[in-house]
Chain A
Amino acid sequence: MTNSTTQHTNGNTDYAIEAKDLHIYYGNFRAVKDVDLQFRPRQITALIGPSGCGKSTVLRAFNRMNDLIPVARAEGEILFHGKNIYDEDVDPVEVRRRVGMVFQKPNPFPKSIYENVAWGARINGFKGNKAEMDALVEESLRDAAVWDEVKDKLDQSGLSLSGGQQQRLCIARTIAIRPEIILMDEPASALDPISTLRIEELIQELKKNYTILIVTHNMQQAARDSEFTAFFNMDEDRAGYLVEFDKTNELFTNPKNELTEQYITGRFG
């Protein structure tokens, strides 16, 4: 096992979540190999790399969303509070409650705006009464910076909102279940530039309370928003691997790996 390009910047105990020697397979095909990554609490880490390099697959490994694909299987460890989330005695439902996810395309439920936020809380056993639920919904929508736009139409369908509002609603829905980590899979790629900007601002706000892993194709976005950046690439055997992981400033201004430099300067990808 060689991880020459990986930077260990701190001790294990400081990490919110980390991947150790992670390999992900789709059937016999190895999609991702040899990933070692550590994420600090309340930091934003950007996962970048060319199409098909497995960065989304890696992201989805952190809340076991890959389990939904029948042929997918992970080897290695993902440590969350020192516990491998792939251990037999860990229920993926608990993992997903504590590691939330925002998807590429806004996917609100075809329910009311209120219900979109309240549903996740309810199934996860929210202990409060009706008034407290109302408060939770409001707080989540405020935190997701969408409250002012929807407060008068909470009983309308979530689908009646614009794309950017829908995505912020999805973020509200996610933070309503109080995760520790939020995974974001290109959350702004389906949105117009202004909506994108608002999402980026929102992510900066969320950083105060949440550890954020964000997959992005947008190099400027990664450079602007994140504290750390992980660059992935595809090997000759089409398996994705981690090329370089460093502070964003470091990685963009002084890449250690030639591939990284080529990628961030736009010579391939």
Chain B
Amino acid sequence: MIGQDYIGDRVREDIYPQGDEANRKIRRRRRAGKAWRWLFIVATVSAIVILSVLLIKILNDTVGLVAQESVLPERELLLAFDESQVLAAPNILLESEDDPAIASAIADEPNSLGFIPWSAYLTQQDRLNLVSIEGQLPGAEAAGTGDYPLDRPLYIYASTSELQKKPHVAAFLAYYLQHLDEVVPDAGYFMVDAEQLAEQSAQIAEGLGLEELPAINPADFEGVINITGSSTVFPITQAMADRFIADGFRGTINVDPTGTTAGFQKFCIDNDRSIDIVNASREVLPTEFSACQANNRRLSEAVVAQDALSVVVNKVNTFVTDVSREQLEALFTTAEQWSEVDGNWPGETISRFIPSADSGTMDFFVEELFQRESLEDLEYDDLVSIYTANISKGRCRAVEREQRFYDDVLICEDPEKFAEVCASDSPPTGCTLPPREEPGLIQLIEADVIKPKVLASWNGIESVLRRDEILAEAAQKYPNAEVFFKSWLSWQFITSPQSSYPEIAGIRTAILGTLWVVGIAILISFPLGVAAAVYLEEYADKRSRFNQIIQTNINNLAGVPSIIYGLLGLAVFVRALEPITSGYIFGAVESGATANGRTILSAGLTLGLLGLPVIIISAQEAIRAVPPSLRQASFGLGATKWETVRHHVLPNAIAGILTGVILSTSRIIGETAPLVVVGASTFITTDPTGPFSKFTTLPSQIYQWTARPQDTFRDIAAATIVVLITMLLLLNATAIYFRNRWSKRLG
């Protein structure tokens, strides 16, 4: 404590508290200040927390696990297309399920070419030559390592639930897995890795409710076992069946080599209950799997051997020894003669011998040959043929009349119809628009053929924290669906047009609409607002009653609810000025009767008016903030009013004016209500092309999607919000950049 000063025996200045009392009072005053300080901190923190929660909530909806099912998955579409390519190759002499038959046919024909399983190659190995692919030959060393591109596992499939009901089938399966080593090498295949085999056995045992597969005595069982599917796996299964019977099985085993695809067709899709086991030379496809599931057949899978698909030629053919992937593709698709693939090879016609389309061998071969990941790997013509092959004639015609696939021909109807349709008095829009392009076509295929459907979606945090639970739940509830982590916000989402399917919907239309509308609004409100502000601040007589009324009105207009502007826009721009806003008087619309003022121009003008008061007021403030001394200096040098405004007032006010423009843009870009009134389209898939186009904007889109009952629409609405916020930040950053640049130049 500081000592006291006395005058006589009286403390100096005793009209104020002294000593301890003074300190107490100071502490109390400080406490009051501290309380306020805490209040401010709490307010700030809660504001930040609330905003963060909002942002997290939005981002949380934007990503997450989804369970998605497609009517026709992309992979199968590609597979079917690729197979058709190989099957359409010229001079196919044999197309068979019987692999040894193909092998011997190749051995008989000098200019032959084909691909067969390793086992079939072994049957004729003295009369065939193996062809290496990019330097890799098939064989025991390469098996299972992935070095040889056509190396593949072979499978058998059975239904777990039926195995439980049919002990003799379960016994055969167990016996099968236990005796592979005695059969596989003899059948001409390579053994599966021991570790993998043990794991599979354990899984099958678990499916049967056992600790491990017991030792089987075939004599204990009787019954009929029907096996169908791959001809490649057939030799193993047949040999195993023979052994099983030789060991005393009291029944019959029928093994039927129909091809993998045909086998799954019978087992899963046709639900043929007489079939017990399917041999497969490829993995089960999702559609087949889900078909089985739908018929209450839950598949268990076992890899029984490793095969190496061998590309072979006749023994006399000594020139084809090694091929690249491109050469392989040409050999099995378009090339008619050897010389077309390699100039050094003879000009003889190639004779092809290939497995049939139903075989898993074929599926596997084309997948490895073309290695297509997605539809984007295909040419436009191929996409057109895929699309038209998979939709109805009627749908095809409708789509084509909306927009053509090709410039000069209609492919969904009689070719001669082109002139007739497009030359008619009222040609469909398809005749006026340019032909479709690849991205649009892929979207059509997605929407009409693949038809992905999200059955369920989970939010981001859930998806990370409860991943296993969700996966289990999805497997239970949506067994056919593919479950994967999806970001609803993706490049495709941004670049795709709107769609009624949330899975393929995008916001390109809305982004372009927003840019157009906001662009027009700024174009209107910026010059108008600044001009009005300059007039009101620099020229208008502030004492005049009239100008005071105008000023008051502008201040009040800034607070008018935006829906009122919407009503104004509807009455003035959409209705009264319809000939202008619809573009009729500019010739943008054919007849006055079809003119419609619900265009980008109307919306832009409406939002321009909405933003005007904010721009005027902030520009006025910025102009007022320019020091009067600057004006005096300018006038003192003999400058006119305009020179003063142009050279001193505006350059010094521009930073403040741009701040107003930023505020105004931020408000405009997020407006929904006036656009609903002015008439933003609820569903529009064509991009706006000019001020007289129909339109939608990001906020309108968000509004419409959030109003939908499905969860998936909520997710894409969240993704759209992220895009909107990002766009807003980008626009603001640009404006701030210019503001700083300009004010720096002036400073």
Judge whether B637 and A68 touch: CB under 8 Å.
no
Is B542 close to A, CB under 8 A? yes
Judge whether A93 and B640 touch: CB under 8 Å.
yes
Query: Which residues of A, 63-116, contact B by the 8 Å Cβ criterion?
Result: 63, 65, 68, 70-71, 93-94, 96-97, 100-101, 103, 105, 107-111
Residues 113-130 of chain A, each 1 if its beta carbon lies under 8 Å from chain B, else 0 = 000000110011000000
Contact of B638 among A103, A109, A120, A159 (CB under 8 A): A120
Is A173 close to B, CB under 8 A? yes
Judge whether B638 and A97 touch: CB under 8 Å.
yes
Judge whether A68 and B631 touch: CB under 8 Å.
yes
Shortest Cβ gap from A168 to chain B (Å): 14
Cα distance, A170 to B636, chains bound together (Å): 11
Q: Which residues of B contact A159 (CB under 8 A)?
A: 747
Knowing A103-B633, A110-B746, A170-B633, say if A96 contacts B638 (CB, 8 Å). Answer: yes
Q: Which residues of B contact A71 (CB under 8 A)?
A: 543
Is A45 close to B, CB under 8 A? no
Is B484 close to A, CB under 8 A? no
Judge whether A94 and B638 touch: CB under 8 Å.
yes
Is B632 close to A, CB under 8 A? yes
Knowing A70-B543, A103-B629, say if A96 contacts B636 (CB, 8 Å). Answer: yes
Judge whether A70 and B542 touch: CB under 8 Å.
yes
Q: Which chain A residue lies CB-closest to B648?
A: A109
Judge whether A96 and B652 touch: CB under 8 Å.
no
Residues 723-747 of chain B, each 1 if its beta carbon lies under 8 Å from chain A, else 0 = 0000000000000000000000011
Judge whether A103 and B639 touch: CB under 8 Å.
no
Shortest Cβ gap from A98 to chain B (Å): 8
Contact of B637 among A70, A111, A173 (CB under 8 A): A173
Cα distance, A103 to B648, chains bound together (Å): 17
Shortest Cβ gap from B742 to chain A (Å): 12
Number of A-B contacts (CB under 8 A): 67
Among A94, A101, A108, A109, find the residue whose CB has the most chain B CB atoms closer than 10 A: A109
Cα distance, A68 to B539, chains bound together (Å): 11
Judge whether B633 and A107 touch: CB under 8 Å.
yes
Query: Which residues of A, 157-200, contact B by the 8 Å Cβ criterion?
Result: 157, 159, 170, 173-174, 177
Q: Which residues of A contact B629 (CB under 8 A)?
A: 103, 105, 107
Q: Which residues of A contact B647 (CB under 8 A)?
A: 119, 123
Contact of A103 among B541, B542, B636 (CB under 8 A): B636
Shortest Cβ gap from B10 to chain A (Å): 41
Judge whether A157 and B747 touch: CB under 8 Å.
yes
Is B199 close to A, CB under 8 A? no
Judge whether A107 and B635 touch: CB under 8 Å.
no
Is B560 close to A, CB under 8 A? no
Q: Which chain A residue lies CB-closest to B629?
A: A107
Knowing A68-B632, A70-B543, A119-B647, say if A107 contacts B627 (CB, 8 Å). Answer: yes
Residues 44-77 of chain A, each 1 if its beta carbon lies under 8 Å from chain B, else 0 = 0000000000000000000101001011000000
Knowing A109-B648, A157-B747, say if A68 contacts B635 (CB, 8 Å). Answer: yes
Contact of A107 among B543, B632, B638 (CB under 8 A): B632
Q: Which residues of B contact A123 (CB under 8 A)?
A: 637-640, 643, 647
Is B630 close to A, CB under 8 A? yes
Judge whether B639 and A100 touch: CB under 8 Å.
no
Cα distance, A159 to B630, chains bound together (Å): 12
Q: Which chain A residue lies CB-closest to B638?
A: A97
Judge whether B747 and A110 touch: CB under 8 Å.
yes
Query: Which residues of B, 621-672, contact A by the 8 Å Cβ criterion?
Result: 627, 629-640, 643, 647-648, 652
Q: Which residues of B contact A68 (CB under 8 A)?
A: 631-632, 635
Q: Which residues of A contact B643 (CB under 8 A)?
A: 123
Q: Which residues of A contact B631 (CB under 8 A)?
A: 68
Judge whether B543 and A120 touch: CB under 8 Å.
no
Cα distance, A230 to B269, chains bound together (Å): 115
Contact of B541 among A70, A108, A109, A174 (CB under 8 A): A70
Q: Which residues of B contact A173 (CB under 8 A)?
A: 633, 637
Contact of A177 among B630, B637, B652 (CB under 8 A): B637
Shortest Cβ gap from B744 to chain A (Å): 11
Q: Which chain B residue lies CB-closest to A111?
A: B746
Cα distance, A224 to B693, chains bound together (Å): 78
Cα distance, A103 to B634, chains bound together (Å): 11
Q: Which residues of A contact B632 (CB under 8 A)?
A: 65, 68, 101, 103, 107
Judge whether B636 and A100 touch: CB under 8 Å.
yes
Q: Which residues of A contact B639 (CB under 8 A)?
A: 93, 120, 123
Among B631, B637, B647, find the residue whose CB has the most chain A CB atoms closer than 10 A: B637
Q: Which chain B residue lies CB-closest to A120?
A: B637
Judge whether B630 and A109 touch: CB under 8 Å.
yes
Cα distance, A161 to B746, chains bound together (Å): 15
Judge whether A124 and B637 touch: CB under 8 Å.
yes
Cα distance, A105 to B631, chains bound together (Å): 13
Cα distance, A110 to B636, chains bound together (Å): 16
Residues 549-576 of chain B, each 1 if its beta carbon lies under 8 Å from chain A, else 0 = 0000000000000000000000000000
Cα distance, A97 to B634, chains bound together (Å): 11
Judge whether B637 and A174 touch: CB under 8 Å.
yes
Cα distance, A100 to B542, chains bound together (Å): 28
Cα distance, A124 to B639, chains bound together (Å): 7
Judge whether B638 and A124 touch: CB under 8 Å.
yes
Query: Which residues of B, 260-305, contact A by the 8 Å Cβ criterion?
Result: none
Judge whether A110 and B543 touch: CB under 8 Å.
no
B interface residues, Cβ below 8 angstroms from A:
541-543, 627, 629-640, 643, 647-648, 652, 746-747
Listed by A's residue number, 26 A-B pairs whose Cβ atoms lie within 8 Å are: A63-B636, A68-B631, A93-B639, A94-B638, A96-B635, A96-B637, A96-B638, A97-B638, A101-B632, A103-B629, A103-B632, A107-B627, A108-B633, A109-B630, A109-B648, A110-B630, A110-B746, A111-B746, A119-B637, A120-B637, A120-B639, A123-B639, A123-B643, A157-B747, A159-B747, A170-B633
Known: A97-B637, A123-B643. 6 other contacts (CB 8 A): A68-B631, A70-B542, A70-B543, A100-B636, A107-B632, A108-B633
